[in-house]
Chain A
């Protein structure tokens, strides 16, 4: 969900996600009670001023546990159900909430999504005015009409158009960008200078069975079937546990090629790189 909030007190906290989750289940959090009445299904507060994380993280179906020697047999049926390529023509709408928190008696909003044709009146919830609308992904300009006057919310992204009017700008992505601050603690600590006192592996170690791969590492993005030429497959956001692991696939039936794959995070986006290398005989 994308939320736009024109409130004056927009304090961001990543834990806001959990709070809203409880709210959805009808939890009796006293701070939010006043907001719940007029629009029962809408989330009252959005944690960040510019864009909010989803109310709940999307559930990715889990692959049934596989034996370690079956790691790289692609399990295509459920994969295609979740990551099928969608035809570019059908744009799915993203529920978006627009909020005005600067007072007034009657507030409406109009925007470039329908070429400024219609005005959507906002509904009052306590001090704020909000409305929920469904829009396809894109970049839109919009402004508020507060008691007959054109206004814009200065704490949200805004820009001046050619005629000198100031409009707010809404950049609606079809995914929710990663909040960098919440994952910065996942940076690995630096390696210690000393204290490496494990002995190297010997022959008896290699004679033993290797340990089983933990099941949560068996969700790689590497085995998704290749779709049409040049159209990149829509990959889901990888779980953080599979990042920075190196996967290896031996070439089929005697071909001296090995494939190495790994998923990394770069800023707020994820890249899976597959490298094909020849194997020296």
Chain B
């Protein structure tokens, strides 16, 4: 084995990696994987899949390009006949390439359902019957329709709103100080709430600042109001009417008497994370009173609270999550329709992370270390940490994701940070356990990891759970 063989790309800081799951289904006692992506120097141990003693799997992060790989099974080098293979100087090797996946700007798809290939796991997979799923969905639907958004309100809650004429920079600092990710916007002249400002707005603004051809300079950021930014955003998205005036987006909100099912559907269909709950005592909606910011996590908490002790009515709660079509999983070799899974090394630059968040339309990216073990997670809402020490004025290409995450953690007490930030679960955990973890406030997604090595296998988010539960 020539260790100096060019693997088609050395991983450097900022390089985007594709995570692929390799499978060896032909049995053995100890199986290792080696390939051009680790320059044939490393032997990656493969772990047995539970319940299938003949199947071994391993997850590797591979850079873009054409790769060859081979398996070391009980001391003997073998290749998988069922997968594409070719002759090379090492004998017959398996091949795959990432060429059919675009290189520079990967077009990620946030897959909602991703079934595990039944070919390798059909022996062990617990049967999930359609009747169970329908019965559970029916119970949850009945429960959600019987309870209102009023129940989401805590006994004594606090909400922060911003005037729409505040400069964007002020808004950034306020959200960072208050420790909240987003806030509704109040228009004093119109006397009503007109929208929300979210971390995505800040990410877009920072990207605009970085764009040399942009018309938004830093001085303008000081004086730019939120309303002016919203107009620019409408232009950027092409939402203008016949006269070239931007069409304002209407505020998506719920009333306290709306039932939880409508609130959840509103959140899912509009692709938002949090919607304000607004009460108006008069018919025409004047004098609105802001009550609460409702999210799927609050609704999930109600569901868990109610069904935790009567799991008989929800049989699917006891199933392990790998048996349910839920979440986004790392794609496997041989699955041609699968798309790459967005992950980054912690030495990647912050601007590449922000670009990935926008293009992949994901709300978070797992950060892995050199062994591909989960280290941390970068979410959209982490952008407000950049307000500390005005870090957003620094060159985002030179700041690494690791440094950006450190900024957010300095002010918090140590024990809060890791446990709250990066919630993990195993593929064998039951749906009830996953739901209870997600029902904790502040947890919006769980990273599915392999036991022991902490390698990332997939992500389950609140949206995934609700899309599955509501059918």
Contact = CB atoms under 8 A, between A and B. Distances in A.
Nearest to A236: B156
A226 B157 contact: no
Contact of B442 (A175, A224, A230): A230
B153 interface: yes
A113 B441 contact: no
Interface stretch (A20-28, A31-39, A71-79, A271-279): A271-279
B150 A233 contact: no
Nearest to B441: A231
Nearest to B301: A88
Contact of A141 (B256, B290, B309, B420): B309
A257 B178 CA distance: 15
A277 B186 CA distance: 9
Contact of B158 (A87, A162, A268, A272): A272
B105 interface: no
Contacts of B170: 255, 257, 276, 278
B252 to A, nearest CB: 19
A29 interface: no
- Which among A175, A232, A235, A272 has the greatest number of chain B C-beta atoms within 10 A? A232
Nearest to A162: B313
Interface string A212-246: 00000000011010111111111111100000000
Contacts of A257: 166, 170, 174
A227 B441 CA distance: 12
A237 B156 contact: yes
Contacts of A140: 309
A206 interface: no
A232 B441 contact: yes
- Which among B159, B179, B289, B419 has the greatest number of chain A C-beta atoms within 10 A? B179
B157 A235 contact: yes
Given A115-B309, A269-B155, A231 B420 contact: yes
B209 interface: no
Nearest to A138: B305
A139 to B, nearest CB: 5
Interface residues of B, number: 50
Given A161-B313, A162-B313, A231-B420, A273 B180 contact: no
Interface in B151-189: 153-163, 165-167, 170-171, 174, 177-181, 186, 188
B64 interface: no
A267 interface: yes
B310 interface: yes
Contact of A229 (B181, B186, B309): B181
B279 interface: yes
A221 B309 contact: no
Given A236-B156, A274-B159, A275-B186, 6 more contacts: A226-B178, A229-B408, A269-B153, A272-B158, A275-B160, A278-B165
Nearest to A275: B161
A226 B416 CA distance: 13
Given A230-B441, A267-B150, A162 B178 contact: no
A186 interface: no
A264 interface: yes
Contacts of A162: 312-313
Contacts of B235: none
Interface string B258-284: 000000000000000000000100000
Minimum-distance CB pairs A-B, first 5? A226-B179, A112-B309, A235-B156, A230-B442, A231-B442
A120 to B, nearest CB: 15
Interface in A79-96: 87-88
Contacts of A230: 179-181, 381, 441-442, 444
**A interface: dominant SS:** loop
A276 B156 contact: no
A251 B442 CA distance: 28
Nearest to B312: A162
A271 B153 contact: yes
B292 interface: yes
Nearest to B302: A139
B291 interface: yes
Contacts of A227: 179, 416
B155 A237 contact: yes
Interface string B285-315: 0000111100000000000011011101100
B156 A112 contact: no
A229 B160 CA distance: 13
Contact of A175 (B155, B186, B305, B308): B155
Contact of A274 (B155, B158, B291): B158
- Which among B159, B162, B163, B309 has the greatest number of chain A C-beta atoms within 10 A? B309
A266 interface: yes
A221 B156 contact: yes
Interface string B308-325: 111011000000000000
A270 interface: yes
Contacts of B154: 232, 234-235, 269
B188 to A, nearest CB: 7
A177 interface: yes
Contacts of A224: 158
B440 interface: yes
B412 interface: yes
A228 to B, nearest CB: 5
Interface in B435-451: 440-442, 444
B158 A235 contact: yes
Nearest to B417: A228
Interface string B432-471: 0000000011101000000000000000000000000000
A272 B309 contact: no
Contacts of B162: 275-276
A269 B309 CA distance: 26
A111 B309 CA distance: 9
18 contacts: A87-B419, A137-B305, A139-B309, A162-B313, A230-B180, A230-B444, A231-B420, A236-B156, A257-B166, A266-B279, A269-B150, A269-B157, A270-B156, A271-B291, A272-B158, A273-B159, A273-B161, A277-B165
Contacts of B290: 271, 273
